[in-house]
Amino acid sequence: MGLFDGTRRFFSGIKPARAPEALARSFRDLWPGDAARGVALLRGEFEVAGTTLALEPAPEHITGPAGWDAPSGPITWRAAAHGFAWLRDLRALGNDATRLRARDLTEDWLLRGCLEELAMAPQVAAARISAWLGHWDFLAATAEDGFRKRLLVRLAQDARGVVLSLPTEAAHRGALVTLKGALAGAIALEEEGWLTRVTRCLPDELTRQFNADGGHVERSPQQQLLACQDLIEIRNLLHGAGISVPNQLGAALDRAGLALSMFRHGDGALALFNGSQEETAALVDLVLTQGQSRGRAPTFLTETGFQRMQAHKSVVLVDCGPPPAGRGSDIANNLPLGADRFAHAGTLSFEMSVGRERLIVNCGAAPAGEGEWRDALRSTAAHSTLVLADTNSSELKDEGLGRRPDRVVADRVEHNGQLWLDMTHDGWKKPFAATHRRRLYLSDTGDRLIGEDLLELPEDAEVPPFTVRFHLHPDVTASLQQDESGVLLRLRSGQGWRLRAQNCQVELEESIYLGAAPCNTSQIALHAGAGATALQWALTKIGAPEDEVPEAEAPPEE
């Protein structure tokens, strides 16, 4: 496939866009940058979701596309480089050196990166339009005329191509990014025809992007946060242009903000499901404030498939919905089209925090990492759940998921402050004819979480070996009890918890955590005995009453 085929098809037959002498309207990016990432960019290092690779202007004698092309890094990392959102990290430092680095990198991209297939994918080009317009004062307002003219020409060309690509094929948040960039370009360049096309596409895209409960279709707390940011920016663009904001947009933003609140731990940051990292509580607060959501955060998202169990200071967040739908990849550049692009094999996994401290976690994600590393973190074993015969509950593919649970069921009961969840998934039905059932009970005081993991198999089926894993936050200190029937856990605050189990071998093993900066941690592994189909366990705060044999209390009859 040639350079001008594939993704670049949305430029085919398009007359060169009219480049204005100046923008009709300028914008201001709403979100704070990361000064540490800005400093790294000054060193020539670009970090995306925990993956850091080289990105710096090439010496004048280098004419190839190194730094922007396929050998430079994985596709998700390169898409972020071509998308230019890193401008906000340079802007966060607020000095002339960072402004000059921003211009040098942009000049380098105009010289060596702009003809890359990936650079012209609609969602990537749209992200770049939003970034350039949102940082125009920082990047171009005081630049020399030639640089600003080249930027305007490319901006107009990108905007025309992105608008004509609508509606996009992608079923994930990239389609929302495309719509946002098209809207920004139409307003900044005063193109009424483009604006009409964008606003006509908006209602259908909102319906595609968000479930009725406000959850985003990718089932990812981080994508939920980013999608809320997209909606806020779209709303503000319409307001700024004097265009009435559709009621559907306001309602979608309201529900999406409430759903985002459900994914927060006691520290205010996000749970780690489906490609997510923690982010900062300050950013989540800012998004919720800007979104102006009204009402209380839900305790469950039935359609999106998440449950929040909360009692006193304890919060338990559970992934108990089917994985999002897949659609393969764009042939031209291998960008995934399905909502499962970052999905993990973590069905029925849970996380737990106590106050502002995280106790049980999933390992996190490296969506911009190399394939083996990225998929190791997507695996079932990287989540706090049951792993059957070292086999993932969903098949991992580059573009998303293959085999996956078809049926995931969750029943919730609340009584006098006590909470029960009874959940099943059939992700191992095809390879093992097995269904995983997980039952959780949280006491009204929040000081006891009792669980049972069961395998439901045909009577004559051979029982495969399985392990139930509990990944610990790096701030948790763990020590195996002398009789090896449990593990003592100490939070940084000094608060103690104990995990006890039966019908299994209890081991303390190494793990890794990528919720923020990558670091080593531990995990508790409960290895079921030969032929066992059920395993009971209990997490109890030290000093709270606990049963000699940790059996979950039965929910009341309804």
Residues contacting residue 179 through CB under 8 Å, at least 6 positions apart = 126, 166, 168, 198, 201, 202, 205, 234
Using one digit for the tens of pLDDT, what is the confidence trace for 291-334? 998 888 899 999 999 999 999 999 999 999 999 999 888 877 78
pLDDT at residue 399 tops 50 = yes
E strand or H helix at 236:
helix 221-240
Cα–Cα dist 289/33, whole Å: 18
Using one digit for the tens of pLDDT, what is the confidence trace for 359-390? 999 999 999 999 899 999 999 999 999 999 99
Angle, CA of 108, 110 and 115, to the nearest 5°: 115
Which residue in 451, 327, 313 sits closest to 384, CA to CA? 451
Which residue in 338, 384, 379, 378 sits closest to 358, CA to CA? 384
Which residue in 341, 347, 248 sits closest to 307, CA to CA? 347
Model confidence at 10, in pLDDT bands (50, 70, 90)? very low
What pLDDT is recorded for position 8?
A: 42
Cα–Cα dist 426/218, whole Å: 20
How many CB atoms sit inside 10 A of residue 141's CB?
A: 12
Cα–Cα dist 386/402, whole Å: 19
What pLDDT is recorded for position 90?
A: 97
- List domains and CATH numbers for the chain: 1-168 (no CATH), 306-541 (2.70.98.70)
E strand or H helix at 477:
strand 477-480
- Averaged over 437-454, what is the pLDDT? 97
Q: What is the pTM of this model?
A: 0.94
Residues 318, 421: contact at Cβ < 8 Å? Answer: yes
What pLDDT is recorded for position 553?
A: 54
Per the prediction, the chain carries an average pLDDT of 91
Cα–Cα dist 503/537, whole Å: 9
- Report in angstroms the alpha-carbon separations of 256 from 230, 231, 265: 11, 9, 17
Model confidence at 420, in pLDDT bands (50, 70, 90)? very high
Model confidence at 200, in pLDDT bands (50, 70, 90)? very high
pLDDT at residue 511 tops 90 = yes
Using one digit for the tens of pLDDT, what is the confidence trace for 224-269? 999 999 999 999 999 999 999 999 999 999 999 999 999 999 999 9
Q: Per the structure block, which two tokens stand in for 18?
A: 């009219």
pLDDT at residue 341 tops 50 = yes
- Averaged over 529-552, what is the pLDDT? 78
Cα–Cα dist 15/26, whole Å: 25
Q: What is the dihedral of CA 35, 37, 42, 46, to 10 degrees?
A: -160
How many CB atoms sit inside 10 A of residue 545's CB?
A: 10
Which residue in 107, 113, 106 sits closest to 64, CA to CA? 113
What pLDDT is recorded for position 548?
A: 45
Residues facing 346 on adjacent strands: none
Distance of CA 286 to the CA centre of its chain: 18
What pLDDT is recorded for position 537?
A: 96
Q: Is 84 left (phi over 0), alpha (psi -120 to 50) or beta?
A: left
Query: What is the SS3 assignment for 244-278?
Result: CCCHHHHHHHHHHHHHHHHCECCCCCECCCCCCCC
pLDDT at residue 501 tops 80 = yes
Using one digit for the tens of pLDDT, what is the confidence trace for 65-99? 677 998 899 999 999 999 999 999 999 998 899 99
Per 3-state DSSP, what percentage of the chain is helix, strand, and coil (rounded to 5)? 35, 25, 45
Cα–Cα dist 111/102, whole Å: 14
What pLDDT is recorded for position 12?
A: 41
Q: Per the structure block, which two tokens stand in for 324?
A: 């999002």
What pLDDT is recorded for position 556?
A: 57
Distance of CA 99 to the CA centre of its chain: 29
Q: Sign of dihedral through CA atoms 512, 515, 519, 523? A: negative
E strand or H helix at 413:
strand 408-415
Q: Per the structure block, which two tokens stand in for 226?
A: 């980013």
User: Regarding predicted confidence, which is higher, 554 or 476?
Assistant: 476
- Averaged over 175-203, what is the pLDDT? 96
Model confidence at 60, in pLDDT bands (50, 70, 90)? low
Phi, psi of 33 (to 5 degrees): -90, 175
Q: Per the structure block, which two tokens stand in for 15?
A: 């007359």
Cα–Cα dist 416/432, whole Å: 39
Which residue in 225, 202, 208, 210 sits closest to 275, CA to CA? 225
Residues contacting residue 176 through CB under 8 Å, at least 6 positions apart = 205, 209, 227, 230, 231
Angle between helices 35-42 and 96-108 (to 10 degrees): 60
- Averaged over 121-147, what is the pLDDT? 95
Residues 316, 152: contact at Cβ < 8 Å? Answer: no
Using one digit for the tens of pLDDT, what is the confidence trace for 106-126? 999 999 899 999 999 999 999
Cα–Cα dist 519/476, whole Å: 13
Which residue in 388, 547, 379 sits closest to 454, CA to CA? 388
What pLDDT is recorded for position 61?
A: 56
- Report in angstroms the alpha-carbon separations of 496 from 227, 244, 499: 38, 54, 10
Which residue in 505, 495, 510 sits closest to 537, CA to CA? 505
Model confidence at 1, in pLDDT bands (50, 70, 90)? very low
